[in-house]
A and B are shown apart, each in its own frame.
Chain A
C-alpha cells in the first residue's frame, strides 16, 4: 500500500471503501453549505473533533466517509459512524510526518499539517482491518 497517506483508528470493520475528494470542514456553516450544495456524496469529510454534533446533519443526510483528527471508536462520532455504517478513520496521522495527536497537548500546527496534506486530494478509505483505518491516495 505505497499510496497510503494517513492511518488512524478504524471506527468499525467494513468492506465498504468509499472514495471521493477530501473536504475539510472547519466550522458549522461549512457543514451546512456542503449539505445545501447537494454534493455531500462526492466528498470524504475531514474534521478535527470526534464528536457527533458538529457532523450531525452530514451523518443524517448520508455522508459516505469521514476522517477525524482526534477521537476513537468509543467516541460519539465513532459510535454513530458505526450505526450509520459510514466508514470512519479516527485520529488520523500522516505517514509522512512524525507529529501525533496527544489530547490536551497538541497545538494547531499538527492539525494544519494534516489539513494541508489531505484537503482536496482524491482518496479512498480502507476500513477492513479491525484496528487500523487507512486513507489511500487514488
Chain B
C-alpha cells in the first residue's frame, strides 16, 4: 500500500524555521519572569534554547559528554531547559486531580525526593562499573532492541525527575537551599546526558530538541517490525482486533506501573518509503520486581506493537513522540488512521532479541482475556490496600523503576539490593510523608512549583561545584 505523503501538512514541521502547532493554550515563565512567556512545542524549544548561556542544549560531541563536570552555567541551563520540558509534557496531564484509587499526588513527590537523595550513589557505582563510555553504550543498546526499558521515559526520568523535580520538591519543602547538592546534581545530570546521547547518537539528548522525533531504532529493528505488519482498513475486523489489543494492554501497562507512563515506550515517527508512518510501541504489562505484579505472572514482560499510520487519512498536522515516550498528534485521534500493525512478545526483560516472537492478530484473544483478567484482579487487589501501602508501592514504582534498567544493564541490581538497601525509603523521605499533606503542599505547592515550572531555582552565581550539603540548620 502506498499513500501520498506529498503535501502532508505534518512534514512542514521538519522544515527550518517552522514553529510547529500549539498543543495547549498555556504558556511558560519559569525563571524568566522578565521575559515573554514561552509556548509549548517546536517554537518553545527554539525560544528556550535562545535563552541558554551555554551550548549544552545544542548538539554536543562525544568528547563533551565524556567530560565528568558541567560548568555552573551548564547546570543552570540544563535546569532551565528541563523545567520547560517538564512543563511542556506534564502541565496539562497534571490537571487530572485526585485518583480516587491511589494516592498518586503524594507518592509522586515523595518518589521524586527519594530519587534526588539516593540516585547519585547508584549512578557513581554504575559509572565505576562500566565507565563513562559504558554508560553511553547502555543508552545505545536501545537502538537494536524492542521491549527494553532503556527508553525515552526512563532516560528522561534520570535527570528530569531525579534532579529536576526531586530538587524542585525539596526546595519547595524548604529542606534544601539552592546552593546545596551541586556535586550530586552534576552526577545525576552527567549520567542522564550520557545515556540519552548514547541512545540518540545525533548530538541531542531530548526529543523536544529534534522536533519531537525519537527515531533511534536501527534499520534492522524497523525491518523486523515491518516484516510482520498486516495491512488493514479502518473499521475492519483486523483494525478492531489490533486497536483493542493496543488499548487493553496499554491500560494494564499503566496500571502495573501505578498509573505511570513508565509502562509505555514509543519511538518514532519513522517515515516509511511509501509515505506511511511507523510508531514502535512497547507496553510493559508485567514488571517482575513489583510484588503486586504477581497478578500478571501469566503475561510476558512486554508486548511491542508496530503501528502504521496513514498521515493523509487523518490530515496530520503534527506528530510528537515526546520525552516521556508518548505519541500525541494534531488532530488528536490517530486510531482510525492506523492502517497496519503487528504485535511482538518479549517474555522477560532479558530475553535475547533473537527470541522475541510475533503474535499473529488471529491469536490475540487468549492474551486479551488474560490482560483483562489481570486488570480486574489488579483493581480488586489495589482497592483492598491501605493508603500507606499504596503510597509505598507508588514510591517503588517510580524510584525503583526509573533506574532499574540501568542497574540491570550494569549487572548491579542484586548488589545495590544486598549492600545498599535499594528498596529502603530514606528516613528523611519517610518523615516527609507526614509533612507533604500539611499547608496544601501536595495539592497546591507541587502543581505550582513543579508542573507549572516556578520552583526550579538556579544554582546561585559563584557556587562551588564540589558543594554538597554540609548542614541542616
Contacts and interface: CB of A to CB of B under 8 A. Distances in A.
Contact of A59 (B93, B251, B331, B444): B251
A76 B259 contact: yes
Nearest to B330: A130
A21 interface: no
A66 B386 CA distance: 27
A11 interface: yes
A12 B95 contact: no
A56 B256 CA distance: 11
Interface stretch (B67-75, B96-104, B188-196, B211-219): B96-104
A70 B105 CA distance: 14
A112 interface: no
Contact of A77 (B94, B96, B248): B96
Contacts of A83: 243, 246-247, 250-251, 335
B333 A82 contact: yes
B60 interface: no
Interface centre among A26, A83, A105 (most CB of B within 10 A): A83
A69 B359 CA distance: 38
A49 interface: yes
Interface in A87-107: 91, 101, 103-105
B95 A28 contact: no
Interface majority SS (helix, strand, loop, mixed), chain B:
helix
A69 B95 CA distance: 10
B335 to A, nearest CB: 6
B97 to A, nearest CB: 3
Nearest to B102: A53
Contact of A51 (B104, B371, B378, B383): B104
B377 to A, nearest CB: 10
Contact of B375 (A11, A60, A72, A75): A60
A20 B97 CA distance: 25
Nearest to B446: A104
B436 to A, nearest CB: 13
A76 B331 contact: no
A48 interface: yes
B461 interface: no
Contact of B333 (A13, A59, A76, A105): A13
Contact of A105 (B90, B94, B383, B444): B444
B334 to A, nearest CB: 8
Contacts of B378: 56
A57 interface: yes
B96 A76 contact: yes
Contact of B259 (A35, A53, A72, A73): A53
B447 interface: yes
Contacts of B261: 76
A74 B372 CA distance: 24
A29 B383 contact: yes
Interface residues of B, number: 47
A80 B250 contact: yes
Interface in A7-42: 11-14, 26-29, 31-32, 35
B99 A32 contact: no
A52 B254 contact: yes
A68 B89 CA distance: 21
A35 to B, nearest CB: 8
A69 B333 contact: no
Interface string B321-337: 00000101001110100
A14 B259 CA distance: 25
B251 to A, nearest CB: 6
B297 to A, nearest CB: 18
B92 A73 contact: yes
Contacts of B251: 52, 56, 59-60, 80, 83-84
Interface centre among A57, A77, A80 (most CB of B within 10 A): A57
B373 to A, nearest CB: 10
A104 B447 contact: yes
A136 interface: no
A57 B328 contact: no
Nearest to A31: B379
A51 B380 contact: no
Nearest to A10: B332
Contacts of B444: 104-105
A76 B92 CA distance: 10
Nearest to A105: B444
A51 B94 CA distance: 10
Contacts of A77: 96
A117 interface: no
Interface string B367-388: 0000110011011101100000
A78 B138 CA distance: 33
B157 to A, nearest CB: 16
B332 A91 contact: no
A99 to B, nearest CB: 15
Interface of A: 11-14, 26-29, 31-32, 35, 47-54, 56-57, 59-61, 69-77, 79-80, 82-85, 91, 101, 103-105, 130
Give me the 8 closest cross-chain CB pairs, A-B, nearest first: A50-B96, A70-B97, A83-B247, A71-B96, A75-B96, A12-B333, A104-B444, A74-B92
Given A28-B379, A51-B97, A83-B247, 19 more contacts: A11-B332, A13-B333, A28-B382, A35-B376, A53-B379, A54-B99, A56-B375, A56-B378, A70-B98, A72-B95, A74-B89, A74-B93, A76-B254, A76-B261, A80-B254, A83-B243, A83-B250, A103-B94, A104-B447
Interface of B: 23-24, 89-90, 92-102, 104, 243, 246-248, 250-251, 254-255, 258-259, 261, 326, 328, 331-333, 335, 371-372, 375-376, 378-380, 382-383, 440, 443-444, 447-448
